[in-house]
Amino acid sequence: MKVLLIDDHALFRIGLAELLERRGVQVLAATGECAAGIAQVCELSPDVILLDMRMPEMTGLEVLKQLRQQDCHMPVVILTTSREENDVVQSLQNGANGYLLKDMEPDDLIKSLQEIMQGRTVVAPELAGVLARVVQGDNIPQSAMPEKNLAELTKREREILCLLVDGQSNKVIARNLGISDGTVKLHVKAILRKLDVHSRVEAAVMAVEQSLCPRESFST
């Protein structure tokens, strides 16, 4: 996997580049200048572009729009500290293939990049509730989910699914329910299998589409 990184924070940029290289990811370039980064994308043709959202020269969204206008079709992943709902929605609507947070575990970042390379759109689990609220506002087309899929969920699985809608991580769910992280992972795996989806975000979106979880359960 060949990656190009655009981020104005030098320490983060250098550290992330080294981290990726140690895990077998080739970093073609890492720059803090947006214009230079756009030029390097055209020159180097990376497999994936990692793009910060908040930068002084241009915003990540502006860089994303310019790349798409120049017919750069490789996956673009927003990697940021911003949890703003508008940032998430605007990024996805303008062609981002992923929206990830900088505080994620390194191995989770690599896994997410691999999934994006396989053609999936990946959003940080903590932001699943954002997409769920967008769906409830009818800004994204609803997908069909047979009622029998919902019927297959146990009471505990429905409870955990609603906590996924709320954007809670496995650790937070485990603490709130008084169970182990491992047990939560098993339940999440079962939920994805029964709903025939590939990610927590997809499961959360489906749950809201089917009004499985009350709106007051969403994070504010």
pLDDT of residue 140: 44
Q: Please report, in tens digits, the pLDDT of each residue of the chain (220 residues total).
A: 999 999 999 999 999 999 999 899 999 999 999 999 999 998 999 999 999 999 988 999 999 999 988 888 899 999 999 988 888 888 888 888 889 999 888 888 999 999 898 888 888 878 876 666 655 554 444 444 445 577 789 999 999 998 887 777 788 899 999 999 899 999 999 998 888 877 777 787 778 777 787 654 444 3
189: domain CATH number is: 1.10.10.10
Among 41, 38, 54, smallest CA distance to 101 is for: 54
Neighbours of 116 (CB within 10 A): 21
Task: Say if CB 168 and CB 132 are below 8 A apart.
Answer: no
pLDDT of residue 142: 43
Judgement on whether residues 137 and 39 belong to the same structural domain of the protein: no
The Cα–Cα gap between 71 and 101 comes to 26
Judgement on whether residues 96 and 157 belong to the same structural domain of the protein: no
Among 103, 90, 213, 86, smallest CA distance to 158 is for: 213
Report the predicted TM-score, pTM, of the whole model to 2 decimal places.
0.66
pLDDT of residue 132: 61
Cα end-to-end distance, the chain, whole Å: 37
Judgement on whether residues 7 and 114 belong to the same structural domain of the protein: yes
Judgement on whether residues 86 and 177 belong to the same structural domain of the protein: no
Task: Say if CB 3 and CB 15 are below 8 A apart.
Answer: no
Axis-axis angle for helices 155-165, 181-195 (nearest 10): 90
The Cα–Cα gap between 156 and 178 comes to 12
User: How many structural domains compose the chain?
Assistant: 2
Among 60, 113, 67, 68, smallest CA distance to 91 is for: 60
pLDDT of residue 138: 44
Q: How far is CA 15 from the centre of its chain?
A: 21
The Cα–Cα gap between 109 and 218 comes to 25
Domain end call among 123, 158, 192 = 123
Task: Say if CB 60 and CB 54 are below 8 A apart.
Answer: yes
Q: Which two tokens stand for residue 83?
A: 């949890």
Judgement on whether residues 82 and 141 belong to the same structural domain of the protein: no
The Cα–Cα gap between 11 and 21 comes to 15
3-state DSSP assignment of residue 122: strand
Domain end call among 123, 141, 175 = 123
74: containing domain: 2-123
Phi-psi domain of 196 (left: phi exceeds 0; alpha: psi -120 through 50; beta: other): left
